[in-house]
Structure 1
Amino acid sequence: MALKEFAGTLPDFAKDIRLNVGSLLNEAVLNDQRKYGLLLACAHGTGHKPLVEATEAEVAGKLSPEAANAARAAAAVMAMNNVYYRFTHLASNTEYRNLPAKLRMNVIGAPGIDKVDFELFSLAVSAMNGCGMCIDSHEQVLRKAGVTAEVIQASVRVASVMKAVATIHAAVA
């Protein structure tokens, strides 16, 4: 079952979410690698296995193996970084911000795809996970690379819809 069919299983109270999934699949602001990579990164970022499976089916043949792996890697490393950096940002004791993280995150430096695309994936997952420090960091890199506000907004729109799909499906499945 692909993503649109999966979204079709959501209850009537989530009609807006179903419609938004269709809009994401027709998104024109993002090129295909960004659109399908964001869908995959965000699906993995939700941790909701049925959504991951539907999204994997959706992107099959639409993403290169490298781009699909980078999307999964962005979700994986942000699952770790968003917790760590959200803690350092929110803790009253600022000493933690000055300590080395001692966390491996080599994929950020060598994601196997265009760095800008990987940063978009990371930004979207960071938005889902609510890490302001990571959101700011990725957004700054993207803006320095010339990425428009519309592209950044579209990536976060993907994150918001995918998170809603996972939340609703988990509650009613």
Structure 2
Amino acid sequence: MSLDALKEALPAYAKDTRLNLGSVIGTSTLPAQQLWGTVLAVAVACRNEQVLRELDEAAREHLSAEAVQAARAAASIMAMNNVYYRAKHLVGDPEYNNLPARLRMQVIGNPGVDKVDFELWCLAVSAITGCGVCLESHEKALRKEGVPRETVHEALRIAGVVHAAAVTLDAERVLADA
């Protein structure tokens, strides 16, 4: 299984990350589509080839073709939105909030999967890229739909652990080439 291959690829010093990958993904209380869509969306956002390859393989065992595309779409749209909205916020001039984005974001309104699942994936990607505006917006949308804090918390845990694996493997690749 590809999750096992990913865990095996982690060096000894990343034992906590290896164990957390197994426990956070393996014992998640999220329904399969929410879990594996979150895993796939954050794997895309982490931009590590090995993490993406292994977790994409694992996710495909649990997701429909539509859900795979929607998870990838969540990562793609949030790659744009996280930069745009974080930058507007960091500029510090509230007048920028009066200017229209004029960026195509239709997938958010029609993602091809349950809207709550897509919102959860967008939230997890926003945690990877560090956009507070998007994190707040997606958390608020999820809570408005009755999603409990524990579900949001699970998505954030998944994002953190997958990101840690990606960072570790990126470092190992660079150090091996040195």
TM-score for the superposition, normalised by structure 2: 0.94
Q: Which moved more, 1:103-112 or 1:4-13?
A: 4-13
Aligned length: 173
Structure with bigger helix share is 2
Q: Which runs of structure 2 are paired with 1:148-167 in the superposition (5 Å)? A: 148-167=148-167
Q: 2 CA distance for matches of 1:61 and 1:13?
A: 29
* 1:4 shift after superposition: 2.3
Q: Which amino acid aligns with 1:135?
A: L
The equivalent residue for 1:147 is 147
Q: Distance in 2 between the 1:94 and 1:144 partners?
A: 25
Structure 2 residues not aligned, in runs of 5+: 174-178
Q: Distance in 2 between matches of 1:92 and 1:71?
A: 31
Distance 1:138 1:128 in 2: 14
More displaced stretch, 115-124 vs 89-98? 89-98
Contact 1:3 1:51 in 2 (8 A): no
Q: Which residue identity does 1:69 align to in structure 2?
A: Q
- CA distance, structure 2, for counterparts of residue 24 and residue 63 of structure 1: 18
Consecutive unaligned residues in structure 1, runs of 5 or more: none
CA–CA distance in 2 between the matches of 1:78 and 1:65?
20
Q: Aligned partners of 1:135, 1:18: CA distance in 2, in Å?
A: 26
- 1:4 and 1:21 in contact (8 A); partners too: no
The match for 2:87 is: 87
- Aligned-residue sequence identity (percent) comes to 49
- Residue 8 of structure 2 is matched in structure 1 by 8
> Aligned pair in 2 of structure 1 residues 26, 168: CA closer, same or farther (>3 Å)?
same
Matched, 1:40 2:37: no
1:128 correspondence with 2:124: no
Instruction: Name 2:19's counterpart in structure 1.
Output: 19
Secondary structure, aligned partner of 2:9: coil
Indicate if the aligned counterparts of 2:28 and 2:154 stay in contact, CA closer than 8 A: no
> Which whole-Å deviations, capped at 9, do the CAs of 1:76-99 have from their partners, x for residues lacking one?
000000000001111122221211
